Amino acid sequence: MTLFETTLAHWRTRIIALGGVMALMAGPCLALPPLWIVRDADSELVLFGSVHVLPSDLEWQPPALGAALGKADDVWFELPIDPGTQSRVAQLALEKGLLPKGVSLSHKLSAVARERLGRVAVRAGLRPEQLEPFRPWLAEASLSVADFQRQGARATAGVEQVIAADLGPDIERRAFETPDQQIDFMANVSEAEQIASLEEALRRMDEEPDTYEALLASWMAADLLALERQALLPIKAQTPRLYETLIRERNLRWVEAIKQRMAGRGQTVMVVGVGHLLGKDGVPERLRRLGYRVEGP
């Protein structure tokens, strides 16, 4: 995958946002990510909280997820998992992620952020000048993808890619959104919030280089409070409009799709970024408030 093709994987991971991982992998206790089961009279829906980029050697798959996939009638992802989607994301990133000719990214940043941009880019294996034509959202995505890769994470090892590769031919694949919709969520955020998000990401990558490992450890331990504290609360506090666009509003639309699916019958698995399943705005809690039986953490 190219840098542009992994851009969307970053932004979906940004929702859970980004040490302990090796201890979890080596320790005697079995650590498993969170999973929810939603039931009504004639339907069962398994909700699994994903991380979209992962180390290739991490053993993350809960037995309950494997069992659900084995009997599923349909499996839902945020986006279609196919080469056409990857190509469309790359195309849209170039169309909507570049600044006007003659405008440079660094001129939009504070002096502190400009210094951090240089350090973080070099450490992630990029040249700072590569990022100058990028709008802030695409610069953040590109830096974060490169930093994830530096730490051994790969989009090809992410939850969705692994699950999609193993699905049988008779299982229907469905998606909540299109590439155009997801790119628009990011590109249409105000430039002020894009800059605020990028500057916070630069601070985090510069001062807290182990953030990804800490978050991955919380995911593997199904520590929902830690995930919410690490992932959602900073976005909500620092860039509230971004939180509304990327989390709350999408969750509301997905709950409506789930209600329609549960009105039918059968076995369904839905795999979305774990940040969408946390807290009072999360999909499980919203389904509970609507009266569905929801088992899970």
The answer as to whether 2 is a domain residue is no
Mean pLDDT of 57-85: 95
Q: What pLDDT, on a 0 to 100 scale, did the predictor assign at position 210?
A: 79
Contact 77, 271 (CB under 8 A): yes
Q: What pLDDT, on a 0 to 100 scale, did the predictor assign at position 31?
A: 66
Q: What pLDDT, on a 0 to 100 scale, did the predictor assign at position 193?
A: 93
Of the two residues 166 and 15, the one the predictor is more confident about is: 166
Question: Range of 19's domain?
Answer: 7-295
The answer as to whether 197 is a domain residue is yes
pLDDT > 90? residue 244: yes
The answer as to whether 54 is a domain residue is yes
The answer as to whether 28 is a domain residue is yes
Q: How confident is the model at residue 287 (pLDDT cuts 50, 70, 90)?
A: very high
Q: Residue 28 CB: number of other CB atoms within 10 A? A: 4
pLDDT > 50? residue 75: yes
pTM for this model (two decimals): 0.87
Q: What pLDDT, on a 0 to 100 scale, did the predictor assign at position 164?
A: 96
Our count of domains for the chain comes to 1
The answer as to whether 24 is a domain residue is yes
Residue 97 CA to residue 90 CA, distance in Å, equals 10
pLDDT in tens, 96-144: 999 999 999 999 999 999 999 999 999 999 999 999 999 999 999 999 8
The answer as to whether 126 is a domain residue is yes
Q: What pLDDT, on a 0 to 100 scale, did the predictor assign at position 21?
A: 34
Q: Which residues, other chains included, contact 241 with Cβ-Cβ below 8 Å and sequence gap of 6+? A: 189, 190, 193
Contact 126, 143 (CB under 8 A): yes
Q: What pLDDT, on a 0 to 100 scale, did the predictor assign at position 30?
A: 52
Strands 153-154 and 35-39: unpaired
The answer as to whether 281 is a domain residue is yes
Residue 267 CA to residue 68 CA, distance in Å, equals 8
pLDDT > 50? residue 165: yes
Contact 134, 126 (CB under 8 A): no
Closest CA to 275 of 10, 8, 32, 17: 17
Mean pLDDT of 60-71: 95
Q: What pLDDT, on a 0 to 100 scale, did the predictor assign at position 77?
A: 97
Instruction: Tell me what percent of the residues of the chain surpass a pLDDT of 70.
Output: 90
The answer as to whether 118 is a domain residue is yes
Instruction: Tell me what percent of the residues of the chain surpass a pLDDT of 90.
Output: 73
pLDDT > 90? residue 271: yes
Q: What pLDDT, on a 0 to 100 scale, did the predictor assign at position 32?
A: 87
pLDDT > 80? residue 220: yes
Mean pLDDT of 58-65: 94
